[in-house]
Structure 1
Amino acid sequence: MTTPLCIMLVAAEASGDDRGAELMAALKAHLGPGGVRFVGLGGERMTAEGLASPFDMSELSILGLVEGLMAYRRVIRRADEMAALARREKPDVAILIDSWGFTIRLAQRLKAQTPDLPVIKYVAPQVWAYRAGRAAVLARHVDHLLSIHTFDAPYFEKLGLPVTFVGNSTLGLDFSGAQPEALRRRLGIGPTEPVLLVLPGSRASEIQRVLPPFEEAVALLKAARPNLQVILPVASTVADQVKARVAGWPHRVHVVEGEADRYAAMKAATVALACSGTVTTELALAGTPMVVGYRLAPLTYAILKRLIRTDYVTLFNIAAQAFVAPELIQGDCVGPKLARELALRLDDPELRATQVAAQNQALAKMGRGGPDPSEAAALAVLKILGRGAA
């Protein structure tokens, strides 16, 4: 009887939890019942697939240079704990998903204590945008890279790091089962009433910096449009924080939880106000026009502004090399400016349709409609381990 594979998977934020869960499902499909066991760190979705995490991954959901420095001791402590977990469990492979600051420190520890352990990085650092030196750091500490962008490979292969392009799992998101009409009925929203979807992020720091200007924009829009319905899907990582803030809003907001309601809300929305991140690609796939806003700590932004080599922060804008969706970043991410861009789209069906068409063209450039990324990632992992499908 073949010994089950032990696979270490580590994710530290919501998008990584999604990728990790989908990869776990694909690996289980190939290896069969009892053919694999998982150890490591993840969120709700990875837990549902059978992973028991030793602590809450939200502790490591950190964005920004200043925030990273403040959390440094915690990151090091948790990296040490995960390395100790690997010593105990003796995995056949370690797959570290996104979250550069934490996963690169864990990769260093894993290779130092077990040089023969294959370490795979899933999602490359965006060296094409900033911090090109990270490519060399990654090449020294991992054995293989699974990339989600077609343009990643040259930056790493020239340094001797093998790269397998697996595609972006977000692009395979299926909205066919979403039920926007049912959600509207349940929330008491009429079929023709305009809906503003508000997505302020999944990290505590994002809620702290992004939700206040989003809140101001919503208040301005509601004052001018009393019939505007507001839906706010809340991520599990920040649910308590968001609910506490929204409870003080003077107008009604429909707070929804869970994946099914989030996708239904995306389809039900007339327009969305979104924090920069994976959610913008999800909205584009849902066919929802959007305005993107983001804020960082002032010092973090000042430093990054000198390092960043791209004019855009939204992936489909990068693919299109155009502001398909408006991006209001840092000083521009204020209530009146956000409200003005949203009002333009709420009041102009033709503008909404034009933006959705441009978003679809950008998604095609990103690889929409390609092979299933989780399946491709699973096959790549099995190939690295010298194991075929069951």
Structure 2
Amino acid sequence: MKRRIFISTGEVSGDLQGATLVTALFEQAKVQGIELEILALGGARMQQAGATLLGDTRAISSIGLVEAIPQILPTLKLQRQAQAVLKAHPPDLVILIDYIGANLKIGRFVRQQFPDIPIVYYIAPQEWVWSLNDKNTNQIAAITDRVLAIFPEEAAYYQRFGIDAKFIGHPLIDQLRHLPDRQAARQQLGIPPEQVALLLSPASRTQELKYLLPEIFAAAQTVQSQIPQVHFWIPLALPQFRPAIEAAIAKYQLNANIIPGDQGRIAIAAADLAITKSGTINLEMALLNVPQVVTYRLSAFTAWVGYKLLKLTIPFASPVNLVLMREVVPELLQDNMKADAIAAKVLETIQPQNRERILADYQAIRDEFGEFGVCDRAANIILEMLNPNAKSRPTADSVPN
């Protein structure tokens, strides 16, 4: 008899975190003698891990008001497809991973249609850092049976709202554990000892090709003029980004290699420094001891609404700085994100004394990530929540691939 789990996530990082959870769920289910089926809104990595993909959400994620408009219809279409499948093949448990806007809708749908099905939020939205009010947190409380928190402060925040929240640690500590060290990674990529390897991570969302890539690559051009032995390594977040990145490499005449997504972490491990967008990748760089200059920019209209109308203030954008609530790595955001400023920060950060300060702070960040075995802990908690007295659905009712 088969138990069915539905997982909903979006973006490249959500697909990656979802994939590692799917792997752990199947492994722990096998140990416990549970036959498992996993349906998902996610991406190719989750599918490769064994989930039946109901829709690929990686390319329809966005941040901002104007930026979200082109994604509204594709997102609604995927959600309706998923809802139809869930009605026909009800799950035994639902897992939501980040992706707050879409996942709150999915959660409300499940709660209304199947009020007794447990809902777990894994890697909950960062309301504990920059919420404008309690609205989203109260909605999370209304739909969620349990939050599996990846930071201690995240668990404490949701507990204050009466949510059953448990700190389990950050999954990156498991995912990066077996990566090669810097020397081995450089050998794997064929990086000679004299080369300064500078990683560029400009985009995991389509909007970032417009708002981030030009300034980051222009900054790289300036750095290249100052450090002749520099070579740029660019992990490819999504295959469809390759033409835009290749065109930018040619335009700015960069000495650069594009790295397939599945080798992206090898490139990070090999790097001397990075110019990067704000996101989960900042934490990967911290765990792999790569100093970084963090950037981000939204449309002028979205920024104006946030700052002028909503009076939005955020302490930091990068998760690295948010963990310790102080500037561990430099950030250049919105109007401050200009090529000359980025280049100046890179040339400053690469100096030995600044590198050493950042690496020392990275150790304090690692202390906040918990112990190894995060994904297995999450999987075991989730499997325990599958009601053993509930009627299991037979294999014949499986959703076709």
* TM surpasses 0.5: yes
Give the partner amino acid of 2:268. M
Identity of aligned residues (%): 26
1:322-337 equivalences under 5 Å are: 322-337=326-341
**Deviations, residues 237-289 of structure 1 (Å, cap 9, x unaligned):** 65334344334442321111133x32222222111111100001100111111
Structure 2 partner of 1:232? 234
CA distance in 2, matches of 1:186, 1:123: 32
Residue in 1 that maps onto 2:399? none
Residues 197 and 272, structure 1, Cα contact 8 Å, conserved in 2 = yes
Cα offset for 1:303?
Answer: 3.2
**Structure 2 CA distance for aligned equivalents of residues 159 and 211 of structure 1:** 39
TM-superposed CA distance for 1:210, in Å, is 0.8
Deviations 1:120-175 (CA, angstroms, capped at 9, x unpaired): 22222222212332101112223322222211234433444322222211233335
Q: Is the 8 A contact 2:147 2:164 kept in 1?
A: yes
Hey, what does 1:358 align to over in structure 2? 361
**Matched residue SS, 2:329:** coil
Query: What is the CA–CA distance in structure 1 between the aligned matches of 2:189 and 2:167, rounded to whole Å?
Result: 41
- Asked if structure 1 preserves the Cα contact closer than 8 Å seen for 2:39 and 2:54, the reply is no
Could you give the per-residue CA deviations for residues 63-103 of structure 1, whole angstroms, max 9, x where no partner exists?
21222244333322322211111112221111111111111
Deviates more, 1:83-92 or 1:150-159: 150-159
Q: Over residues 299-321 of structure 1, what are the superposed CA-to-partner deviations in whole Å (9 max), with x where a residue is unaligned?
A: 22233334545411222312222
Deviates more, 1:16-25 or 1:125-134: 125-134
Measured in 1, the distance between the counterparts of 2:233 and 2:146 equals 41
Which residue of 1 is the match for residue 375 of structure 2? 374
Aligned-partner SS, 1:192? coil
Which residue of structure 1 aligns with residue 386 of structure 2? 385
Determine if contact 2:23/2:50 at 8 Å carries over to the other structure: no
Question: Residues of 2 paired with 1:190 and 1:234: CA distance?
Answer: 22
Partner of 1:212: 214
Secondary structure of 1:37 counterpart: strand
Partner of 1:140: 142
Over 3 Å counting, the alpha-carbon distance change for 1:254 and 1:94 in structure 2 is same
Ranges in structure 2 where 5+ consecutive residues have no aligned partner: 390-401
In 2, the alpha carbon distance for the partners of 1:296 and 1:308 equals 14
Check the 8 A contact 2:5/2:91 in 1, yes or no: yes
1:281/1:316 contact within 8 Å kept: yes
Provide the C-alpha distance between the structure 1 equivalents of 2:387 and 2:227, rounded to a whole number of angstroms: 60
Query: What are the ranges of 5 or more consecutive residues in structure 1 without an aligned counterpart?
Result: none
RMSD (Å), alpha carbons: 2.3
TM-score of the superposition, structure 2-length normalised?
Answer: 0.88
Q: What does 1:211-290 correspond to in 2, within 5 Å?
A: 211-236=213-238, 238-240=240-242, 241-259=244-262, 261-290=263-292
How many angstroms does 1:214 deviate by? 0.2
Alpha-carbon distance in structure 1 between the residues aligned to 2:247 and 2:47: 26
Amino acid at match of 2:385: I
CA shift at 1:341, angstroms? 0.7
Contact 1:19 1:374 in 2 (8 A): no
Residues 195 and 231 of structure 2 are in contact (CA less than 8 Å); yes or no, is this contact kept in structure 1?
yes
Q: TM-score, normalising length from structure 1?
A: 0.90
Q: Aligned partners of 2:311, 2:106: CA distance in 1, in Å?
A: 25
Is this contact kept in 1: 2:2–2:34, CA < 8 A?
yes
**Shift of residue 186, structure 1, vs aligned partner:** 6.5
For residue 170 of structure 2, what is the aligned residue in structure 1?
A: 168
Q: What is aligned with 1:93?
A: 93
